[in-house]
Structure 1
Amino acid sequence: MAIYPLKNLVKSGATALAVMVLAACGGQETASTEEASNADRPITGEVNVYSGRHYDSDIVLFDQFTEETGIKVNYIEASGNALIERISQEAEASPADIFITADAGMLWRADQRGVFRAIENDTLESQVPPQFRHPDGKWFGVSKRARIVIFNKEMGLPEGLETYEDLADPAYRGMICVRSSSNIYNQSLLASRIAHWGDERAEAWAAGVVANFARRPQGNDTSQIEAVAAGICRLGIVNSYYTARFKGSDNPEAAAIGEKFELFFPDQEGDGAHVNISGAGVTTHAPNPENAEKLIEFLLREETQGAFASGNNEYPIVEGVEAQGPIAAYSDFRADDLSVSALGENQPAAVMIFDRVGWP
């Protein structure tokens, strides 16, 4: 996995893109004036972000943060595991101030490696519901997503399917497509079942799902969506934001796939749909911890939350902020209120269960 050098975002490619868009709309003079104003703004500090997210929309928000505060944002992008390893190896010499990653299970891995420091921040605690933050303030959710079921529209939703537990029913033999057990999204889903049901019942469920596979697990969530649309499987288990990439696509081929499947949120009469997060925390050896807290506060402001979440078709984590983009049409569902900390705590048990039941 390539890890890129720290990048100065004060004059980022995202800003350049915004200027070109304004120029195309007849706003070239305004854009040039704004660009000059930003260039003259004094830099009053910096903050270094190690991010597992890879979205231009994040860069636009980082630019906005610099414009408002004068704090220069530097960043690198890589996988969560690669960044955890890098921060751990850098130790006290690490320039990282913030680690941002997807999945509470990945946040747990980072915490186990000593990546985060505990902070007390009334603003963050007031913005992030308790179930979406570390109990000691080591990390805070910044957006959320659901792991749901999709179904082939022509085949329809199988009769009687209402809950995650139903996915293990022999009535659905040969219907399910899902990615491998090494994927952290599946590990977190099973970890949530362990938290709700205990190990024995969760293992029986996992074994039942394996028995209902339409094919050996392969590919990512996009692969499962394409397989359901093609009729290879009737059901798929995927993260909600992947579906929005098809439902809201301007690409005719992707949009055509989006027309062939529909979303189903399980357990609406029970615990609610399984929800996970993207999260951020201040690193243990952060050289700029105050600036780090300011940036996380900025990402959790009501006026920036919608844009931050919609960059990956996720749901805002701040209560009262509405979802934006194609995922907004699928935002009215009952979510599980389980603390996402349990997803990390039960991750080792989930991995062992996957091994025992033969989930590849």
Structure 2
Amino acid sequence: MSARAYFLAVMALTLPIGQAQAADEVVVYSSRIDELIKPVFDAYTRQTGVAIQFITDKEAPLMQRIKAEGEHATADLLLTVDAGNLWQAEQMGILQPIRSALIDANIPAQYRAESHAWTGLSLRARTIAYASDRVKPAELSTYEALAGPEWEGRLCLRTAKKVYNQSLTATLIETHGAEQTERILKGWVDNLSTDVFSDDIAVL
């Protein structure tokens, strides 16, 4: 099954079966920008005849909106990025569990919440961008290695306030433990060439 076909199937399964079959439209709150997500919604409508009404915004405002709407929330599906946001949405109590043989068959268990509150649809590649005129590819290996003294004064990082770096830190803790992760993070900070940046574009 293609990623697009699977995504469309998940969208149909976010509604109770009877409601999904009778629904004239599905309401999606999405943190993905229109240009990226609208083609998928249009394909879903062509295949099913069900219209997609969607609202796009940053993750935090969307989740707060769902929480404020409470039992009157109109969203059938929250589409966001990064497991950190999904975890936060679950902690806020704004998600409902979904049990689906289709999801279980296509998405490995490590990419789904044990509570069945959410499921991943794609994986994020955490790449290392480097200046090709100053860094040789052979010098690069892992994020952990960037804490080494040979990188002193050579690193640029995005702020730790962003969920992407928080998720990366959580992965390091899961892999190496809290103490070693703290040493890695301290090494990154010690190796910074400038203050941290607010977003990826600013870093590049």
- How does the TM-score come out when normalised to structure 1? 0.49
Following superposition, the deviation at residue 134 of structure 1 comes to 1.2
Partner of 2:197: 218
Partner of 1:61: 40
Following superposition, the deviation at residue 57 of structure 1 comes to 3.9
Following superposition, the deviation at residue 219 of structure 1 comes to 3.0
Supply the distance in 1 between the matched residues of 2:198 and 2:64 (Cα, whole angstroms).
24
Counterpart check, 1:96 vs 2:75: yes
Matched-pair contact (CA < 8 Å) for 1:45–1:71? yes
Supply the distance in 2 between the matched residues of 1:132 and 1:66 (Cα, whole angstroms).
27
Could you tell me which amino acid in structure 2 is paired with residue 55 of structure 1? D
Larger radius of gyration: 1
Supply the distance in 2 between the matched residues of 1:118 and 1:188 (Cα, whole angstroms).
22
Matched-pair contact (CA < 8 Å) for 1:46–1:72? yes
* Count of matched residue positions in the alignment of Structure 1 and Structure 2: 183
Counterpart check, 1:110 vs 2:50: no
Counterpart check, 1:163 vs 2:142: yes
Supply the distance in 2 between the matched residues of 1:151 and 1:168 (Cα, whole angstroms).
15
Residues 310-321 of structure 1 mapped to structure 2, 5 A cutoff: none
Following superposition, the deviation at residue 92 of structure 1 comes to 0.3
Task: Kindly provide the CA deviation profile for residues 38-83 of structure 1, in whole angstroms up to 9, marking residues without a partner as x.
Answer: xxxxx95211100010032421221221222121211101111111
Could you tell me which amino acid in structure 2 is paired with residue 165 of structure 1? E
Structure number with the bigger relative contact order (C-alpha 8 A, sep ≥ 6) is 1
Give the counterpart of 2:166 among 181, 184, 187.
187
Residues 145-164 of structure 1 mapped to structure 2, 5 A cutoff: 145-157=124-136, 160-164=139-143
Following superposition, the deviation at residue 99 of structure 1 comes to 0.3
Residues 248-267 of structure 1 mapped to structure 2, 5 A cutoff: none
Supply the distance in 2 between the matched residues of 1:163 and 1:57 (Cα, whole angstroms).
30
Task: Kindly provide the CA deviation profile for residues 106-147 of structure 1, in whole angstroms up to 9, marking residues without a partner as x.
Answer: 000000001111111011121212222112321111122211
Residues 131-150 of structure 1 mapped to structure 2, 5 A cutoff: 131-150=110-129
Consecutive unaligned residues of structure 1, counting only runs of 5 or more, are: 1-42, 226-360
Task: Kindly provide the CA deviation profile for residues 125-184 of structure 1, in whole angstroms up to 9, marking residues without a partner as x.
Answer: 212122221123211111222112111111123765422211111111001001111011
Task: Kindly provide the CA deviation profile for residues 187-213 of structure 1, in whole angstroms up to 9, marking residues without a partner as x.
Answer: 111111000111111011100100000
- How does the TM-score come out when normalised to structure 2? 0.84
| Cα gap change, 1:134 to 1:44, in 2 (>3 Å) | closer
Report sequence identity in percent.
34
Residues 1-360 of structure 1 mapped to structure 2, 5 A cutoff: 45-157=24-136, 160-225=139-204
Consecutive unaligned residues of structure 2, counting only runs of 5 or more, are: 1-21
Matched-pair contact (CA < 8 Å) for 2:156–2:194? yes
Supply the distance in 2 between the matched residues of 1:57 and 1:193 (Cα, whole angstroms).
30
Could you tell me which amino acid in structure 2 is paired with residue 192 of structure 1? T
Supply the distance in 1 between the matched residues of 2:60 and 2:187 (Cα, whole angstroms).
30
